[in-house]
């Protein structure tokens, strides 16, 4: 497979990253995961906009225009002949002598690669389990940063409990998943945490808000508590790779009927129709 390294398409064996790359040493960089359906980059513009926004928030200047960047990602998918899969792309502040503050001069390093991935259809149909985990991450969760230790530790804890995803909460308030956004449905209304500094404003989340509007489903971007989560009629999560995934139980407690809810299934259908 081809890999994008800065402006060049190279082979994996040719990739050479410095021992003092700031991404490697400090997690000093940002990333995106873009889904590929039938050879097309799904919601590419939204992901590219967020990539540039995240970079700007940590003062990394991306060395090419959005159009050039879009074309390079598209070419990579085509060169690797990816039909259904994903593109992973990251940019770091580059390499410099190890010191915490930004180096005087450095060039950012971009790496992008592709991978074939199937849609998690089975779990999407049957639903997944969630586990409450305390959200101990920093206060800039709106940045899609390479610093994922808080997310990794939470996902691992959920995994050890036999759950698919960690449902993060700050005190009593549910924020998001370790790599997804979270939603509860009560009396036909969808509740989800507002897009503040405490969550990543997911691209799938934005698609869901738009689809809900089209379907005439009310959405309240309003935080809810762990106790309220357990009282929801339906619960689901969303991400680029998990799409819209029903959560049928949390810490062993069934949510609603303990099976994927009707509203969740309607949204999944609308999402599916939107891919064509
Ligand atoms: N995760 N919240 C967090 C903390 C995330 O890491 C992600 C995405 C989301 C959902 O965002 P989106 O709908 O744009 O994928 C929410 C990606 C997929 C990952 O790290 O693999």
ipTM of the modeled complex: 0.98
CA 11, CA 43: separation in Å to the nearest integer?
A: 27
Task: For residue 99, give both structure tokens.
Answer: 């010191």
**Residue 142 confidence class, pLDDT cut points 50, 70, 90:** very high
Give 44-56 pLDDT, tens digit per residue. 999 999 999 999 9
Determine the pLDDT at residue 61: 96
Bridge-based pairing of strands 234-239 and 8-11 is unpaired
Q: What count of residues does the chain have? A: 276
**Residue 236 confidence class, pLDDT cut points 50, 70, 90:** very high
As a whole number, mean pLDDT of residues 243-262 equals 98
With 0-12 / 13-18 / 19 or more C-beta atoms within 10 angstroms meaning exposed / middle / buried, residue 173 is: middle
The residues of the chain that CATH labels 3.20.10.10 are 121-274
Instruction: Please say if the pLDDT value at position 276 is more than 90.
Output: no
Is the CATH number 3.30.470.10 carried by domain 2-116? yes
192 Cβ below 6 A of ligand 1: no
Catalytic residue flag (residue 144): yes
30 Cβ below 6 A of ligand 1: no
Distance 104 CA to ligand 1 centre (A): 32
- Residue identifier of the C-alpha nearest atom 9 of ligand 1: 180
The residues of the chain that CATH labels 3.30.470.10 are 2-116
- Residue identifier of the C-alpha nearest atom 20 of ligand 1: 179
Distance 233 CA to ligand 1 centre (A): 24
Give 9-61 pLDDT, tens digit per residue. 999 999 999 999 999 999 999 999 999 999 999 999 999 999 999 999 999 99
* Alpha helices, DSSP H, located in the chain: 22-26, 44-57, 66-79, 121-126, 149-160, 203-215, 226-230, 262-274
Q: Among 31, 44, 149, which Cα is nearest to 89's?
A: 31
Determine the pLDDT at residue 76: 98
Determine the pLDDT at residue 105: 86
- Residue identifier of the C-alpha nearest atom 4 of ligand 1: 179
> Which of these is catalytic: 144, 155, 226, 276?
144
Ligand 1 nearest-atom number relative to CA 46: 14
Distance 127 CA to ligand 1 centre (A): 18
As a whole number, mean pLDDT of residues 188-215 equals 98
Determine the pLDDT at residue 269: 98
What homologous superfamily is domain 121-274 in, according to CATH?
D-amino Acid Aminotransferase, subunit A, domain 2 (3.20.10.10)
**Percent above pLDDT 70 for the chain:** 100
Task: For residue 170, give both structure tokens.
Answer: 């700050």
Determine the pLDDT at residue 1: 95
131 Cβ below 6 A of ligand 1: no
181 Cβ below 6 A of ligand 1: yes
Instruction: Please say if the pLDDT value at position 122 is more than 90.
Output: yes
By most ligand atoms within 8 Å of CB, the mutation choice from 29, 158, 181, 199 for ligand 1 is 181
Instruction: Please say if the pLDDT value at position 106 is more than 90.
Output: no
């Amino acid at each position: 497979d081809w890999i994008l390294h800065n402006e060049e398409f190279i082979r994996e064996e040719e990739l050479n990253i410095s021992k003092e790359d700031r991404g490697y040493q400090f997690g000093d960089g940002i990333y995106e995961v873009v889904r590929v359906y039938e050879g097309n980059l799904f919601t590419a513009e939204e992901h590219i906009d967020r990539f540039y926004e995240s970079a700007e928030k940590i003062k990394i200047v991306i060395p090419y225009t959005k159009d050039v960047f879009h074309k390079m990602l598209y070419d990579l998918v085509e060169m690797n002949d990816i039909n259904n899969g994903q593109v992973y792309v990251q940019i770091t502040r580059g390499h410099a002598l190890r010191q915490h503050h930004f180096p005087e001069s450095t060039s950012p390093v971009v790496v992008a690669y592709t991978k074939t991935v199937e849609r998690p259809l089975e779990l999407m149909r049957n639903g997944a389990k969630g586990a409450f985990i305390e959200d101990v991450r920093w206060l800039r969760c709106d940045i899609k940063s390479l610093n994922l230790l808080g997310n990794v530790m939470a996902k691992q804890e959920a995994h050890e409990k036999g759950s698919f995803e960690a449902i993060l909460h700050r005190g009593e308030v549910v924020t998001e998943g370790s790599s997804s956004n979270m939603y509860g449905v009560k009396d036909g209304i969808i509740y989800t945490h507002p897009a503040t500094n405490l969550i990543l404003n997911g691209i799938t989340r934005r698609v869901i808000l738009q689809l809900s509007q089209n379907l005439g489903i009310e959405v309240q971007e309003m935080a809810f508590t762990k106790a309220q989560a357990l009282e929801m009629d339906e619960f689901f999560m969303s991400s680029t790779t998990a799409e819209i995934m029903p959560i049928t139980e949390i810490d062993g407690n069934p949510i609603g009927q303990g099976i994927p809810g009707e509203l969740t299934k309607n949204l999944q259908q609308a999402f599916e129709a939107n891919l064509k």
